[in-house]
Amino acid sequence: MGWITDWFTWGNALYLLVLVLGGILTVISAKWRKVFKEVKEVAEALQEAYEDKKLTNAERKIIMKEALDVLKALIAIKWKFGK
């Protein structure tokens, strides 16, 4: 029984916890990477559209396209998650 206390110390337990959390966050970030990319594109499109303080019809269409891409990425995650 003494060998268990040699291996399972607080330091090793915290190290294992960090490894497990890192793995979980890696899986989550890989899953949501497409959504984050699309949200970034929406923000860039909004920034470009409002540089001159006016929103033209063409700029509005670009923003809507980018917003629909975000929705498409979210739906793709949901469908992949359900399988």
0.75 surpassed by pTM: no
Domain residue ranges in the chain: 2-82
pLDDT at 7: 72
Q: How far apart are CA 59 and CA 45, in angstroms?
A: 8
Q: What angle do CA 53, 43, 22 make, to 5 degrees?
A: 160
Give residue-wise pLDDT tens across range 48-72.
Answer: 988 888 888 999 999 999 999 999 9
pLDDT at 66: 92
Are 55 and 49 spatial neighbours (Cβ–Cβ below 8 Å)? yes
Give which of 35, 44, 32 is closest to 68, Cα–Cα: 35
pLDDT at 1: 59
Sequence-distant contacts of 63-67: CB under 8 A, at least 24 apart: 66/38, 66/41, 66/42, 67/42
48's tokens: 């470009």
